[in-house]
Structures are given as structure tokens and as C-alpha cells.
A and B are shown apart, each in its own frame.
Chain A
Amino acid sequence: MPPDIEAIAEQVFVALADPTRRAILAALASGGPATATDLAARLPITRQAIAKHLALLAEVGLVTAEHGERRRVRYRLRSAPMQVAQQFLAALARDWDRPLEALTEHLDRSTREPTTTPLEEARGHHA
């Protein structure tokens, strides 16, 4: 069965499309696991709203809930789905057009400047 990586990537992008969820994920990424109360102290968002978003993020596997001290639930960022989303972005960021243009230019250039290499060509190669 092929894993549905698109579904995983989509959940990441949906999560990141919301500024509050971005702020929550960013806070967990930079500061480590935190409770909803901790996050409410650090972000300009009510604890209630944070709890709601955390529940959604936990449901899709972007954060995981763990039991901390005094029966408080702490939330931890899960990086695995982010790595799947990174793969998607990597495909979009892969640029073959510019290197292929550079290759064409390189081939044309080395034809115009044959065996008797001009000075700048020599400098370029031995720099």
C-alpha cells in the first residue's frame, strides 16, 4: 500500500495556513514542549483558543500530547510530518531551468573560445 504522503503534507500546509497555529508550532519548535497555559503566557492568544488549536494539531499528528507533572498535558512538536512537507517543497524548489541555461551558455562559450584560451578563461579555471 503506498503511504498517502500527500495527505500528510496537506495536513502540514493546512496547519501552517493559520497564523495562530503557526505561532503555536513555532513556539513549540523554539521553546520545546509546553502546556496550553505555558503557550497562553507566551502568545497573544487566549488559553481557550490555544487548547482548541492544540487539539486539532494533535488529531492530525503534528503535535503529540504527553502527561507532565500534576496531571498537566504538555504538547510536543512532531517533526516527521514536517519532513514529508519539506519533500514536497523540495520538489517545487528544484530548479533545472537555470542550470540548463547555464549549461547551454557554457557549451556555446567554449565553442566561441576554442583551444587558444583567452587570459580571463585561464584565470577563471585556475582561480
Chain B
Amino acid sequence: MGFPDRIERTVEVAHPPGKVWAALTTAEGLGAWFGDEATIDLRPGGSARMRFSSGFTVDMRVERVEEPAVFGFTWQIYGLPEDDPRRTYVEFTLEPTGAGTRLRVVETGFAQLPEDAYRAAYDGNTKGWASELGELADYLDAA
């Protein structure tokens, strides 16, 4: 039962939600505190990208935009190959408090396992790559 699927943090900041919202959802904001450079198309389905000084870049897909309360996006799972289709979902929730904003970030989806990956992980004992390469050869022959 130890596979972590959900990561959650809450911080209280002494700034109004509008200001926090701008830091989370604009290229200037994201580039200032998160990445070293950012682009964002702020609408559901829009794409965003952050570049880090290390040269690492991450692509995000904007999912929820409810100014100034909820901002959600999906992004690649850090540490997995770039072409891996798996994504985690990150959601920021901004709640006004007397002194500023309660900001909550929840990232979920680490424990997801698509059907094909499940099959691949479990069923290869008998099958394996030998036959997969055979299928590739068949495919190439047929093409």
C-alpha cells in the first residue's frame, strides 16, 4: 500500500489571490519562480512550457482555468522518458484568507498504469520481445 499516488502541500502566503494567480498562470510569473523561462496559453487545452537553466524543459497542458481560484494542468512524469505518454495532474487551489491566500497544490496520477503498460509489465514471461520483434518484422514485410 505504499505506492504514492497523490502529493499535497498547502502554504499560506501574505498576498491576495489575484497576485498569486498571476504568479501561477503567466509566463512572467512562472518564469520568475518556477522555471527560468516559460510560455503559456492560458485556456483549457492550451499548452505551456517551462525551461530550466539546466537545459531541461517540461511541457504542460492547461486543463482548468477558474480565475482566481483553480488552475490545473497535466505534465510529463519527471524521470520518465520524454515519449512516455503518462502524465500527472497538478491542481492549484487559491482560497482567500484574512491575511492573504491559502494555496494548495495537489499532484495526482503517479500510480496510474494504463492497460497496455499493465499488460506489458505482467504478461511478458511467456511472450517477450522475441515475438514482438517478430510482429515488427511481419509488419515491415507487409508494408
Contact = CB atoms under 8 A, between A and B. Distances in A.
A90 B78 CA distance: 6
Interface in B117-136: 117-118, 120-122, 124-125, 127-130
Contact of B33 (A89, A105, A111): A105
A64 B129 CA distance: 8
B118 to A, nearest CB: 4
B51 to A, nearest CB: 13
Task: Tell me if B's interface is mostly helix, strand, loop or mixed.
Answer: mixed
Interface residues of A, number: 40
Given A88-B4, A91-B4, A66 B117 contact: no
Contacts, number: 120
Task: Tell me if A's interface is mostly helix, strand, loop or mixed.
Answer: helix
A90 B129 CA distance: 26
A100 B105 CA distance: 9
B20 interface: yes
Interface stretch (A4-12, A17-25, A34-42, A48-56): A4-12
Interface string A72-92: 000010101101101111111
B70 interface: no
Contacts of A83: 80, 84, 117, 121
Contacts of B4: 88, 91-92
Nearest to B116: A80
Contacts of A110: 19, 32
Contacts of B20: 103, 107
Interface string A87-114: 1111111101101101111111011000
Q: Which 6 interchain pairs have the tightest Cβ spacing?
A: A64-B128, A106-B33, A91-B110, A80-B120, A3-B118, A80-B121
11 contacts: A5-B113, A6-B1, A9-B3, A80-B124, A87-B77, A87-B110, A89-B79, A91-B5, A103-B23, A106-B33, A108-B14
Interface of B: 1-5, 7, 9, 11, 13-15, 19-20, 23-24, 28-29, 32-34, 77-80, 84, 86, 103, 105, 107, 110-113, 117-118, 120-122, 124-125, 127-130
Given A64-B124, A103-B23, 20 more contacts: A3-B122, A5-B3, A5-B111, A5-B113, A5-B118, A61-B124, A64-B128, A78-B124, A80-B120, A87-B86, A88-B3, A90-B78, A93-B78, A96-B9, A100-B105, A102-B34, A103-B20, A106-B23, A107-B19, A110-B19
